[in-house]
Amino acid sequence: MGALIFLGVVLVAGIYCVTLYNGLVQVKHGVTKAWANIDVLLRQRHDELPKLVEVCKEYKTFEQETLQRVIEARSQVQSAREQQDIPALGSAENALRAGLGRLFALAEAYPDLKSSEHFRQLQTRITALENGIADRRELYNESVNINNVRTEQFPDVLIARFFNFTEKPLLEFAADDVRDVDMKQLFG
């Protein structure tokens, strides 16, 4: 009788450990899936940016420094994306978004460029991709948060450490992206 009780306890404990392990695997793959969703949008935007730069280059007087910043930031994003270096991707994304913001703002001073159908299509497409990336970044960070909580919670932490499940980095925003907008500065 004691052997049956012992066997029952071992069986229940084994089933419980398998359930914990499978839950951690599911959470880990949720992070991978969320990253893949961001990666697709980053690739699409990466392909659109050279077209935008070429359209702007057609206007010889357009500020070359701004175009160069966008090109360099695009390269940094690509490098960080390929290496899956999330902290570097966050800062490269911030530089690229700042460069694009400046580029779109400068386009206002070039009526021919601003009225170009090709430029407007690219601007709309890139803006839509930016919004998609922001949405996917939120999903990614939520998936990472669930993963990180599960790998630290007891008893999951025991299984996580034994099978080498690790914490994942959040895709963080720059302080400028989360701070309130200074309306005086914008309109001053």
Q: Is the pLDDT of residue 180 over 70?
A: no
Sequence-distant (6+) residues with CB within 8 A of 93 are 77, 133, 171
Both structure tokens of 125: 């497409």
Report if residue 187 sits inside a domain.
no
What percent of the chain shows pLDDT beyond 90? 42
The confidence score (pLDDT) of residue 185 equals 46
Tell me which residue of 141, 135, 132, 134 sits closest to 171, measured CA to CA. 141
Average pLDDT over every residue of 45-53: 88
Please report whether residue 184 resides in a domain.
no
The CATH number for 35's domain is 1.20.1440.20
Work out the percent of the chain whose per-residue pLDDT is above 70. Answer: 90
Question: In this structure, is residue 101 part of a structural domain?
Answer: yes
Q: Identify whether 179 is part of a domain.
A: no
Residue 26 lies in a domain: yes
Q: Which domain holds residue 63?
A: 2-171
> Does 95 fall in a domain?
yes
What is the reported pLDDT for 15?
Answer: 95
What secondary structure does DSSP assign to 73-95, as a single string? Answer: HHHHHHHHHHHT-HHHHHHHHHH
pLDDT tens per residue, range 142-167: 999 999 999 999 999 999 999 999 99
109: confidence class by pLDDT, cuts 50, 70, 90: confident
Q: How many domains does the chain have?
A: 1
